[in-house]
Amino acid sequence: MIEVRDLSHSFSGRPALRGVSFDARPGELLAVIGPNGAGKTTLLSILAGIRTADEGSIQVPGEVGWVPQQAALYRRLTVDENLRLFARLEGVEDVDGAVDRMLEQTGLRDRRDDQIVTLSGGNQQRVNIAIGLLSRPAVLLLDEPSTGLDPRQRERLWEFVLGLAGGGTTVIYTTHHLVEAERYGNRLLVLADGEDVFDGTAADLHAAVPDSDGRDFEAAFVAFLRERGH
């Protein structure tokens, strides 16, 4: 289980995270949502080890895979060459095995020799995620993974992610698509102005908002934030 306690971080004296705490179990899908500037990306970059928190602690049961919002790939290299390069850079012992596994998982075996630039946005995002999975991480961090994808590509992406969670990987993802948070997240972590203002299921959030019957999730979420002064 990943355990995060009292995480705080600030940029030039401006607080970005204020005492954020949460847990996530193996195989759980945790959606981190909140308005712009709430601290979602900062939280993920600290969990990924890109930034160091000013205060707080993080307990992770193994490797952490990180998938940035925009595809971090070399467009002039092929799918196979990208996977192979990052496997080597991450020190994966069985490079051939890891690449083969990812080609199978992403369903891109027949496109392995195609340059990334020739792939659709959805397939590029699959390779992007596959690179985050090369080292068989216990926790996968996805920063707004469906940005820029069309509905069909989004659906296929989430099928893939659900498959990963089904295999025991803890998936923590940020999103602005509240439908994706409600539909795919086992739990929601709501951040606002750097604070964790809610930790629970979508149903719990609905219940936390007075007179939320009949409202959709997005309306309930906005009402929740307004009620708490955000």
Partner 1 sequence: MRWLLLKDLQILRRSPLIVALLVAYPVVIGVLIGFALSGDEGKPKVAFLNEVEEEEAFDLGTGEGEFGAEQAREELCKRVECVDVDSRSEAEEMVRDGEVLGALILPPDLLDQLRSLTSLDPEQPVVDVLVNEDDPVKAQLVDDRISALVTEANLILSQRISGQAADYIDLLIEGGTFSIPLLGDDVDILGLARAAEILNGIEREMEPGPARDALGEVAEFAQLAQENLDFALPLLGAVAQPIEVSKIVVSDATASLDTFAIAVAATVTLMFVTVLLVAGSLALEREENAFTRITRGAVGPGGLLVEKLALGVVASLAVTLVMLLVLTPFVSIAWERIGPILLAILAGGAAFAAFGAAIGSATREVRASSLLAFMVSLPIAFLSLVPSGTVSATAFDLLEIFRALFPFHPALDAIESGLDSAAPGIGLPLLHLAILVAAYGLLARLALRRFAA
Judged by the rule CB under 8 A, the positions of this chain that interact with partner 1 are 48-50, 66, 68, 70-77, 81, 85-86, 88-91, 115, 131
Q: Which C-beta is closer to partner 1: that of 49 or that of 121?
A: 49
Query: Please, what is the minimum distance in Å from the beta carbon of residue 84 to partner 1?
Result: 8
What are the strands, taking DSSP E only, across the chain? 2-11, 14-24, 29-33, 55-59, 64-67, 139-143, 170-174, 187-192, 195-200
* Least Cβ distance, residue 90 to partner 1 (angstroms): 5
The nearest distance, CB 38 to partner 1, in angstroms, is 20
Nearest alpha carbon to residue 226 among 214, 205, 209:
209
Separation CA 230–CA 223 (nearest Å): 10
C-alpha Rg value of the chain to the nearest Å: 18
Whose tokens are 């095995």? That residue is 97
| DSSP secondary structure of 48-84 | TTSS--SEEEEE-SS-EEEE-SS----TTSBHHHHHH
Amino acid type, 88: R
Indicate the residue among 89 and 162 with the shorter CB distance to partner 1.
89
Residue 213: phi and psi, rounded to 5, are -60, 135
- Smallest gap from residue 74 Cβ to partner 1 (A): 6
Q: How far is the CB of 180 from partner 1 (least distance, A)?
A: 22
C-beta closer to partner 1: residue 86 or 217 = 86
Tokens read off for 141? 């961090």
Comparing C-alpha atoms, which of 219, 203, 194 is closest to residue 227? 219
What is the torsional sign of CA 71, 72, 77, 82?
negative
Q: Which is nearer to partner 1, 70 or 120 (CB)?
A: 70
Looking at the Cβ atoms of 135 and 170, the one nearer to partner 1 is: 135
CB atoms within 10 A of CB 208: 17
- Judged by CB, which is closer to partner 1: 79, or 223? 79
Task: Pick the closer one to partner 1 by CB: 90 or 199.
Answer: 90
Minimum Å gap between C-beta 61 and partner 1 is 19
First and final C-alpha spacing in the chain: 30
Min dist CB 228 to partner 1, Å, is: 31
